[in-house]
Amino acid sequence: MINFFQLPYKICISKTLIALTVSLFLSACGSSSSDNSSLSTQHDAYSYQQPEIRNDGWTVSDASTLGINTSIVESVVQNIIDEQEDFRYIEALVIIKNGQLLLDERFKSTLDFTDDWSGNQDLNLHILNSVTKSFTSTLVGIAIDQQLIPDVDALVHDFFPEKFPIQNWDESKANITLKNWLTMRHGYLWDEWNITYLDPTNLNSQMNNAVDPVQFLLDRPMDTTPGTTFAYSTGVSYGIGKIVQQSSGMDIHQFMEQYLFTPLQITDYDYWALDGQIHTGSALYLSIRDMAKLGQLFLDKGLWNGTRVISEAWVDEATERYVDNVNWGYGYQWWMRRFQVNGQSLDCFYADGFGGQYIFVFPEINAIIAFHGDAYTDEEKEHRNVTRIMEDFLLPELL
């Protein structure tokens, strides 16, 4: 499933030319398979070792103790290091099985233009892009657990009385619920996928550059009946963060830190802000180990190391297929898909961020695989095949 990049246009307007230049450079370097053949380089042989033990809540184990063939793991990592075809533009990889961290490898060695947006200088932290949305929807569940928000049937406009009068007001707009926002079935006339995010005419860029981004979102004309049609919108994910902020009376990053990051033992993070608030659609930066904790939290039905962080009911509700297409589904800012492994179909729900940020959660086999990536152009994406890596190498070892 293709997701697209959320450029923080408003806060980075002075950096747009830099980003465009970098993108053009990357495109020139990755214009075709033949042009990129020189990127494949042999390095010293990689030898598997169990991840480093840290005071971060993860239980660390050697993969061989779970019956995993470490030579397969070594071949995957070696191919990434050597930038082999289908294994390029991967910057970190972790594997978790039965709650145990079995692999933790970071390949990123230099900062890039995405780090400039927040001023990040830590190589361990990586832009999550739309993986941020899955963290944001989790905050909604926490707020509902705390009775700060009544339920997902709450009308979104009730949280923004100061924004009235709202343009293009009609009965369908009046009936938009928080659930409609969470499932991207909001009904707005909204298309942010057919124009590059670097273009100021992109709807997401227009919202980010608006004097009042939330007003811009609420004023959008309606296109379909809320609850009926999927239309991907980073704008509504930003609005969801505003609802949590309005309901809790706390800055959203403080709410996130107190009720999600602290329980998950996440101490290092970064973000870029829009209109004084973390952009809850795309702005988080986390390490791969910390990013994967959200997957473990949901795999364990809202528990982290035995401590309740969010209700089991929310986990089940958030990972239900409300949008059910042939090859993918969508819940509360979580995607769903199936992998084919050794002749069997394996369901997963996952968080997906442009560039190659993924948290794949496999309840049937009690496993998580997470990636950081930096494929920011169509040409680069042609040289990374996560499906092949998962189906042909990693998942057979986790069955």
* CATH label of the domain that carries residue 309: 3.40.710.10
For residue 261, give both structure tokens. Answer: 């990051």
In a domain, 4, yes or no: no
Q: Tell me which residue of 190, 179, 193 sits closest to 354, measured CA to CA.
A: 193
Q: What is the predicted pLDDT for the residue at 195?
A: 84
**Residue the block writes with tokens 């070792």:** 49
**Residue the block writes with tokens 């030319």:** 17
Q: Which residue has the higher pLDDT, 200 or 173?
A: 173
> Which domain does 331 fall in, by range?
13-398
89 pLDDT exceeds 70? yes
> Which residues are CB-neighbours of 313 under 8 A, at least 6 positions away?
none
> Which residues are CB-neighbours of 306 under 8 A, at least 6 positions away?
none
Q: What is the predicted pLDDT for the residue at 8?
A: 43
In a domain, 24, yes or no: yes
Assess contact for 234 and 6: CB atoms under 8 A. yes
Per-residue confidence band for 340, with pLDDT thresholds at 50, 70 and 90: very high
**DSSP conformational letter for 222:** B
Environment class of residue 104 by beta-carbon count within 10 Å: exposed (0-12), middle (13-18) or buried (19+)?
buried
In a domain, 379, yes or no: yes
Average pLDDT rounded to a whole number, residues 275-287:
96
In a domain, 1, yes or no: no
Q: Tell me which residue of 397, 138, 178 sits closest to 291, measured CA to CA.
A: 138
In a domain, 276, yes or no: yes
Assess contact for 160 and 246: CB atoms under 8 A. yes
Strand pairing report for 329-330 and 323-324: antiparallel
For residue 39, give both structure tokens. Answer: 């990127």
In a domain, 6, yes or no: no
Assess contact for 120 and 112: CB atoms under 8 A. no
Average pLDDT rounded to a whole number, residues 61-68:
97
For residue 130, give both structure tokens. Answer: 């739309």
Per-residue confidence band for 116, with pLDDT thresholds at 50, 70 and 90: very high
Q: What is the predicted pLDDT for the residue at 40?
A: 56
In a domain, 2, yes or no: no
CA–CA separation, 245 and 256 (whole Å): 10
Assess contact for 121 and 138: CB atoms under 8 A. no
Assess contact for 350 and 335: CB atoms under 8 A. yes
CA–CA separation, 66 and 95 (whole Å): 12
What percent of the residues of the chain are helix, what percent strand, and what percent coil, each to the nearest 5?
A: 40, 20, 45
Q: What is the predicted pLDDT for the residue at 196?
A: 73
CA–CA separation, 51 and 358 (whole Å): 19
- How many helices and strands in the chain, by DSSP H and E? 16, 16
CA–CA separation, 305 and 286 (whole Å): 20
Q: What percent of the chain has pLDDT over 70?
A: 89
361 pLDDT exceeds 70? yes
Assess contact for 22 and 128: CB atoms under 8 A. no
In a domain, 53, yes or no: yes
Q: What is the pTM of this model?
A: 0.90
Beta strands in the chain (DSSP E): 59-60, 90-97, 100-106, 126-127, 270-271, 273-274, 277-278, 284-286, 303-304, 307-308, 323-324, 329-330, 335-341, 344-353, 357-362, 367-373
10 pLDDT exceeds 80? no
3-state secondary structure 76-93: HHHHHHCCCCEECCEEEE
Q: What percent of the chain has pLDDT over 90?
A: 85
Q: What is the predicted pLDDT for the residue at 15?
A: 34
For residue 97, give both structure tokens. Answer: 């099985």
Average pLDDT rounded to a whole number, residues 61-87:
98
Q: How many residues does the chain have?
A: 399
Query: Total domain count for the chain?
Result: 1
